[in-house]
Amino acid sequence: MGLVPDLLAAGARVVDLSADFRLHDAAVFQEWYQPHSAPSLLSEAVYGLPELYAAEIRTARLVANPGCYPTSIILGLAPFLNAGLLSEARPLAIADSASGVSGAGRGAALGSSFCEVHDSFKAYKVIGHRHTPEIEQELSRLHGQAFPLAFTPHLAPMNRGILSTIYVESRREISWEELHSLYSDFYKDKPFMRVRPLGFEPQTSDVRGSNFCDLSLFWDRRASLVKIVSVIDNLCRGASGQAVANFNLMCGCGETDGLPSAAVRP
Amino acid sequence: MGLVPDLLAAGARVVDLSADFRLHDAAVFQEWYQPHSAPSLLSEAVYGLPELYAAEIRTARLVANPGCYPTSIILGLAPFLNAGLLSEARPLAIADSASGVSGAGRGAALGSSFCEVHDSFKAYKVIGHRHTPEIEQELSRLHGQAFPLAFTPHLAPMNRGILSTIYVESRREISWEELHSLYSDFYKDKPFMRVRPLGFEPQTSDVRGSNFCDLSLFWDRRASLVKIVSVIDNLCRGASGQAVANFNLMCGCGETDGLPSAAVRP
Amino acid sequence: MGLVPDLLAAGARVVDLSADFRLHDAAVFQEWYQPHSAPSLLSEAVYGLPELYAAEIRTARLVANPGCYPTSIILGLAPFLNAGLLSEARPLAIADSASGVSGAGRGAALGSSFCEVHDSFKAYKVIGHRHTPEIEQELSRLHGQAFPLAFTPHLAPMNRGILSTIYVESRREISWEELHSLYSDFYKDKPFMRVRPLGFEPQTSDVRGSNFCDLSLFWDRRASLVKIVSVIDNLCRGASGQAVANFNLMCGCGETDGLPSAAVRP
Amino acid sequence: MGLVPDLLAAGARVVDLSADFRLHDAAVFQEWYQPHSAPSLLSEAVYGLPELYAAEIRTARLVANPGCYPTSIILGLAPFLNAGLLSEARPLAIADSASGVSGAGRGAALGSSFCEVHDSFKAYKVIGHRHTPEIEQELSRLHGQAFPLAFTPHLAPMNRGILSTIYVESRREISWEELHSLYSDFYKDKPFMRVRPLGFEPQTSDVRGSNFCDLSLFWDRRASLVKIVSVIDNLCRGASGQAVANFNLMCGCGETDGLPSAAVRP
């Protein structure tokens, strides 16, 4: 937010990889991060999820590239919420996510050193991870009114990938077939979305090095819950790959230009 | 169940590591597994969780050693349910678990071969894992009436360890301090239970090679949910270590006899 | 060797990924593998290392795609041997190699199951790995007369990659600068060879998903030895990628056609 | 070396885990490390390998605990050198070692961060690792005169363990049986040494969490070389476990006191 006003003034268009322009409300930003130094741009910034905001991104001056956890969770819930299916009695989403270590960024930190992480699985920031308000903002917009998210991030001993298992209560019973149709229609013609067949067991290596988001749908009859498993590569779809997709929309390039080439390190 | 009747008839006392005597209801067993060949023993068998059934185990002829996922989830919820805290409006528990690969047993299977698992995180049997009825049976007993569990197992790229993140709605708001007292009292004098302090970030390496079950408690104010993170070593507390603990009770040995020595392979 | 004669008779040209046509001598093949059913083709088959045999590959009917260990070791020693530098007093090469688990092929085997391999490093087939005669054949040809190789393969807990550390005694003292020039000249204009700068610490992730072979050179003054570290991705340069490079030569395509795209799974 | 003189003056006996007192020659120490501030103690310090120096350790005031790589290599070559078997024509040892990441110590360093190390195998300090003079000193003493070592350390993507593959030329042909007898006799009654049977494929998980050093012997007929594979846990036998063994000797305790309990983290 220190640089963006000058870049825009100089006529540039910006895809911002930081969290600075993802929240529309300066007060919420300040609660989770710090005071905002360019609050007047918050209403202009477009949340850079191409599947939800392609039209706005095409003409945007400022695109806020989403976080990695939010990308997996919002894409996983968008068709369900957009169809008005969320329970009225208990409007709540639970997202239980596991991320590879590259999600923490590259750097020398004890918490991401090999022997601390290897052969172990950890829950961290169990309450209050900073991605929470960003996810709630977008889920609430899709639902039409505010509702809470319970989000638990975990660290898995792998280089990259995010798998989010999402639990929501449906307003009415819904068959797997209906869920599958709903999702397939919503993401029709979206080249980076794959709605998986019945019984598919999703894993992060399915999307390694790619911009894909894989979604698997489940109806848990015993618990009367919809479960959605969403898988992305946090380094591609969850960061730079999504920035390239946004750039492509902003510049009128092909939607997948530059994105089939895999990034294989780490 | 093919061997146990003869062993008992011969005067032996049995700790059974299989799932054959964990369910009290032969019909439920048949629904999830196969027809039961010794149903008359089901009412006699004691579910081998020492923290819940020590008195019964001491005198039991037949102890059904619990599964690894059930151990982590039941121990995680027992104090909460025992205190009558589960929501009446929405009696439901969600358990999202990650297990190391040894949970699948030792053997040559493509699904547990190195290159299939390494550097990836996977959801499997998202609906209908066989441990579900065993967990529901014990949770419902603790709560005083039947209620459902939504359980999702995941495979993590590590040798061993299980971490379960559990979500329940409380009948009333409850502070972290009250939760911590409740759990500390319930597991007072239990040598293998550790209730962790506020803000502790639990991980499976904390319990590697040991019989400990570590519990971390969280109150998610935004979502009005209690979160409990439970961590065990599936090879020790989740299998043979627990069998030794049951043997100790049955034979009048010290509770921790033989258990401090770590099993370090794999 | 069961299929190739018919394929050739039908007019096809073949890149064979098996070991059947790598050895020129049917007796040596039989010693290490089994009787050869098409020995008349052994003298015709070209050993498919593009950096050494490009002219022959272009016109070959039958190309024997090299093994993964041989690729790393032969490319590592070719410039040194070709320059006639191997010691007369002690003509010997020692190659100590570590491979990822995919080198064993995909399949359900206890020896490549996750818990057997993970977090461990193993020496296997310490004497008599089947790649030995293939490497000796090519090294001896480069040197101009037969000499032995001591080869030790190791299994490293990673998906893929081979790193070979090679020890040879030089006929005369040789500076790092001279070694570096020799190698750079030998591999000039070879798009998949990278001779690394002084002090570079080579690792398999440098070549992951690519057809590169990276070479790092060292003069060990204390021991009067030349050390060469050679790194490839066994799944690309050590197998299918090299087959594509051979195909490109045979069909007059560009040398790197189809090869920049990374293969990222596993 | 800053503390030890005062500790000795105060009457304490010291097992020093640093490298300060491992080299007998202050000039060599300075060449590889820095000027020595207590050179008068160098001749008194005993090199703390219990299998070689038990008598001296028992009465020593100052024991220099060996490095992890040196422990694996010196124990691997001691019986061979002690028997006078090293070639006169080419007195040389080559040691190619792979270590887990804990060998670098605990700390926040980019080079030991998870994503730099995971799923990769690396050669480092290919020439001039600081453990070289310490190993040469002990090997030369065993051989009876100075000879060089070519040593190449590698970093393997695992928490702990060292496997060293050692190559030496024998003065005469030697059968595996003779080698095995020689080693078994030399290490008879040494509780932490295991000479493995013919064909055994050694790996670091065999010794995880223990003070064992496993040795496997090979005669490479084709190359006329003896190969020795030596395996230790760098955190136990290669560091603190060996310090405890030295302490036991110094204090007249049982040789294995305190050492069967495994250290399982990381």
C256: in domain: no
Q: How many residues does chain A have?
A: 266
Residue A229 and residue A130 share a domain: yes
The whole-angstrom separation of Cα C77 and Cα A84 is 67
C→B contacts (Cβ < 8 Å), by residue, are 101-102, 106-110, 112-120, 157-160, 266
Other Cβ atoms less than 10 A from the Cβ of D12: the count is 12
The alpha-carbon gap from C60 to the nearest alpha carbon of chain D, in Å, equals 32
**Average model confidence (pLDDT) for chain D?**
95
Q: Rg (Cα) of chain D, in Å, rounded? A: 18
Residue from the list A125, A203, A222 with its beta carbon closest to the beta carbon of B122: A203
CB contacts, 8 Å: A113 with chain D: 101, 106-109, 112-114
Verify that C177 and C125 share a domain, yes or no.
yes
| Closest to A91 measured CA to CA, from A24, A137, A140 | A140
What's the mean pLDDT in A40-47? 97
Whether residue A98 is found in the same domain as residue A223: yes
Nearest CA in chain B to A150: B223
pLDDT in tens, chain D (266 residues): 999 999 999 999 999 999 999 999 999 999 999 999 999 999 999 999 999 999 999 999 999 999 999 999 999 999 999 999 999 999 999 999 999 999 988 888 989 999 999 999 999 999 999 999 999 999 999 999 999 999 999 999 999 999 999 999 999 999 999 999 999 999 999 999 999 999 899 999 999 999 999 999 999 999 999 999 999 999 999 889 999 999 999 999 998 998 876 667 66
- Give how far C155 is from chain A: nearest CA, Å: 18
- Chain C residue with the nearest C-alpha to that of A114: C119
B228 contacts B235 by C-beta, under 8 angstroms: no
Q: How many domains does chain B have?
A: 2
Distance from CA of C263 to the nearest CA of B (A): 14
Do residue C29 and residue C83 come from a single domain? no
Nearest to A119 among B158, B216, B221 (CB): B158
Considering only CB atoms, which chain D residues are within 8 Å of B266?
A: 205
Say which of A119, A208, A260 has its CB closest to residue C265.
A208
Number of residues in chain D: 266
Q: From chain B, pick out residues whose CB is under 8 angstroms from the CB of D119.
A: 118-119
Q: Distance from A239 to chain D by nearest Cα, in Å?
A: 17
- DSSP string for C43-94: TTPEE--HHHHHHHHHH-SEEEPPPHHHHHHHHHHHHHHHTT-B-SSS--EE
> What pLDDT, on a 0 to 100 scale, did the predictor assign at position B62?
98
Residue pair B161/B236 in contact (Cβ under 8 Å)? The answer is no
**Which structure tokens are listed for C25?**
């001598």
Q: Which residues of B touch C (CB under 8 A)?
A: 101-102, 106-110, 112-120, 157-160, 266
Instruction: State pLDDT tens for residues D158-206.
Output: 999 999 999 999 999 999 999 999 999 999 999 999 999 998 999 999 9
Shared domain check, C128 and C35: no
Residue B181 placed within a domain: yes
| Distance (Å, whole) CA B52 – CA B186 | 10
d(CA D157, CA C101): 13
Residue D177 corresponds to which tokens in the numbers above? 């049986």
**Helices C132-143 and C68-82: angle between axes, nearest 10 degrees:** 20
Asked if A248 and A257 count as a contact pair (C-beta separation under 8 A), the reply is yes
Task: In whole angstroms, give the CA distance from residue B167 to residue C249.
Answer: 60
Q: Give the residue from A115, A120, A159, A234 with the most B CB atoms within 10 Å of its CB, the best one to mutate.
A: A120
Report CB contact under 8 Å: D205, B266: yes
CA dist C160 and D85 (Å) reads: 38
At A202 the pLDDT is: 97
Q: A157: which chain D residues are within 8 Å (Cβ-Cβ)? A: 114, 118
Q: CATH number of the domain at C139, please.
A: 3.30.360.10
**Is residue A141 packed enough to be buried (19+ CB in 10 Å), middle (13-18) or exposed (0-12)?**
middle
CATH number of the domain bearing residue A50: 3.40.50.720
Domain that holds residue D58: 4-66+238-251
Find chains touching chain D: ≥3 CB pairs under 8 Å: A, B, C
Same-domain check for residues B59 and B85: no
CB contact under 8 A, B205 and D260: no
Residues of B in contact with D261 (CB under 8 A): 260-262
What tens digit of pLDDT does each residue of D112-129 get?
A: 999 999 999 999 999 999
Distances (CA, A) of C241 to A42, C15, C32, C80: 48, 12, 26, 25
Residue D110: count of CB within 10 angstroms of its CB: 13
Q: Are D38 and D5 in contact (CB under 8 A)?
A: yes
CB pair distance less than 8 Å for C205 and A266: yes
Out of C118, C119, C264, the one facing A264 most closely (by C-beta) is C264
| Location of structure tokens 């790619």 | A210
Chain D positions touching B265 (Cβ under 8 A) are 205, 208
Q: What is the three-state SS of C122-188?
A: EECCCCCCCCHHHHHHHHHHHHCCCCCEEEEEEECCCCCCEEEEEEECECCCCCHHHHHHHHHHHCC
Rounded CA separation C232/C245 (Å): 15
- Is residue B226 situated within a structural domain? yes
Question: What is the spatial order of strands in the sheet that B46-47 belongs to?
Answer: B14-16, B62-64, B46-47
Is there a single domain that holds both residue D191 and residue D148? yes
Phi, psi of A28 (to 5 degrees): -65, -45
Residue B156 has pLDDT above 90, yes or no: yes
In terms of domains, do C48 and C91 share one? no
The reply to whether C105 and C158 lie within a common domain is yes
pLDDT of A125 higher than 80: yes
- Evaluate if residue A264 carries a pLDDT over 80: no
Contact between B205 and D265 using a beta-carbon 8 Å cutoff: yes
Contacts of B198 (CB under 8 A, 6+ apart): B176, B180
Q: Is A262 helix (H, G, I), strand (E, B) or coil?
A: coil
| DSSP designation for B33 | S
Residue D62 belongs to some domain of the structure: yes
**How many contacts does B have with D, using Cβ atoms within 8 A?**
27
B261: confidence class by pLDDT, cuts 50, 70, 90: low
d(CA A210, CA A241): 8
SS3 assignment, position C265: coil
Does A185 reside within a domain?
A: yes
The alpha-carbon gap from C107 to the nearest alpha carbon of chain B, in Å, equals 6
My answer on whether A78 and A202 are in the same domain is yes
Known catalytic membership, residue C115: no
B22-49, pLDDT tens digit by residue? Answer: 999 999 999 999 999 999 999 999 999 9
Whether B203 sits inside 8 A of A123 (CB atoms) is: yes
- Angle, vertex CA B257, rays to CA B256 and CA B262, nearest 5: 80
Taking the CA of residue D118 and the nearest CA in chain B, the distance in Å comes to 9
Verify cis geometry, omega within 30 degrees of 0, for the bond prior to D202.
no
Indicate the residue of A205, A261, A266 with minimum beta-carbon distance to C261: A261
Both tokens assigned to C217: 């050179």
Instruction: Tell me how far apart the terminal alpha carbons of chain B are, to the nearest angstrom.
Output: 29
Same structural domain for residues C211 and C231? yes
A72 phi and psi, to 5 degrees? -65, -35
- B114's tokens: 């190195």
Chain C neighbours, 3+ Cβ pairs < 8 A = A, B, D
Residues 6+ apart with CB under 8 A from C42: C21, C23, C24, C25, C26, C29, C36
From the list A211, A255, A260, the residue with the least C-alpha distance to A236 is A211
Which residues of C are less than 8 Å from B101 in CB distance? 113-115, 118
Nearest to D112 among A106, A114, A159 (CB): A114
Rounded distance, CA A144 to CA B260, Å?
Answer: 55
| DSSP assignments along B50-97, one per residue | HHHHHHHHHH-SEEEPPPHHHHHHHHHHHHHHHTT-B-SSS--EEEEE
Contacts of A117 in chain D (CB under 8 A): 114
Contacts of C161 in chain D (CB under 8 A): 119-121
pLDDT tens, chain C, 266 aa long: 999 999 999 999 999 999 999 999 999 999 999 999 999 999 999 999 999 999 999 999 999 999 999 999 999 999 999 999 999 999 999 999 999 999 988 888 989 999 999 999 999 999 999 999 999 999 999 999 999 999 999 999 999 999 999 999 999 999 999 999 999 999 999 999 999 999 899 999 999 999 999 999 999 999 999 999 999 999 999 889 999 999 999 999 998 998 876 667 66
**Token pair recorded at residue D126:** 């290919």
Integer Cα distance of A161 and A117 in angstroms:
15
Partner residue opposite C167 with nearest CB, options D89, D94, D157: D94
Residue A114 covered by a domain: yes
Please state, rounded to an integer, the average pLDDT across all residues of chain C. Answer: 95
- Name the amino acid, one letter, at D156: A
Q: Are both D125 and D115 inside the same structural domain?
A: yes
Q: How far, in Å, CA of B151 to CA of B164, rounded?
A: 10
Whether the full predicted model's pTM is greater than 0.80, yes or no, is yes
Task: Tell me the chain D residues in contact with residue B262 when contact means C-beta distances shorter than 8 Å.
Answer: 209, 261-262, 264
User: Is D259:D241 a contact under the CB 8 Å cutoff?
Assistant: yes
Kindly report the three-state secondary structure assignment for every residue of chain D. CCCHHHHHHCCCCEEECCCCCCCCCHHHHHHHCCCCCCHHHCCCCEECCHHHHHHHHHHCCEEECCCHHHHHHHHHHHHHHHCCCECCCCCCEEEEEEECHHHHCCCCCHHHEHHHHCCCCEECCCCCCCCHHHHHHHHHHHHCCCCCEEEEEEECCCCCCEEEEEEECECCCCCHHHHHHHHHHHCCCCCCEEECCCCCCCEHHHHCCCCCEEEEEEEECCCCEEEEEEEECCCHHHHHHHHHHHHHHHHCCCCCCCCCCCCCCC
Please tell me the distance in Å from D254's CA to the nearest CA on chain A.
32
Q: Please give, one letter per residue, the 3-state secondary structure of C192-255.
A: CEEECCCCCCCEHHHHCCCCCEEEEEEEECCCCEEEEEEEECCCHHHHHHHHHHHHHHHHCCCC
CA distance D89 to chain C (A): 9
Q: How far apart are CA B113 and CA C77, in angstroms?
A: 34
Query: Tokens 């008598």 identify what position?
Result: D55
- In this predicted structure, the answer to whether residue B168 has a pLDDT above a threshold of 70 is yes
Active site residue: D68, D213, D236, D253, which one?
A: D68
Which H or E element spans position B152?
Answer: strand B149-155
Q: CA-CA distances (angstroms) from residue C16 to C42, C234, D126? A: 12, 16, 36
Within a domain: C246:
yes
Distances (CA, A) of A144 to A56, A86, B207, C238: 19, 10, 44, 55
What spatial distance separates the first Cα and last Cα of chain A, rounded to whole Å?
A: 29
Residue B82 falls inside a structural domain: yes
Say if CB C110 and CB C116 are below 8 A apart: yes
Q: Find chains touching chain B: ≥3 CB pairs under 8 Å.
A: A, C, D
The DSSP H or E segment spanning B186 is helix B176-186
Catalytic residue among A68, A115, A213, A236: A68
ipTM: 0.96
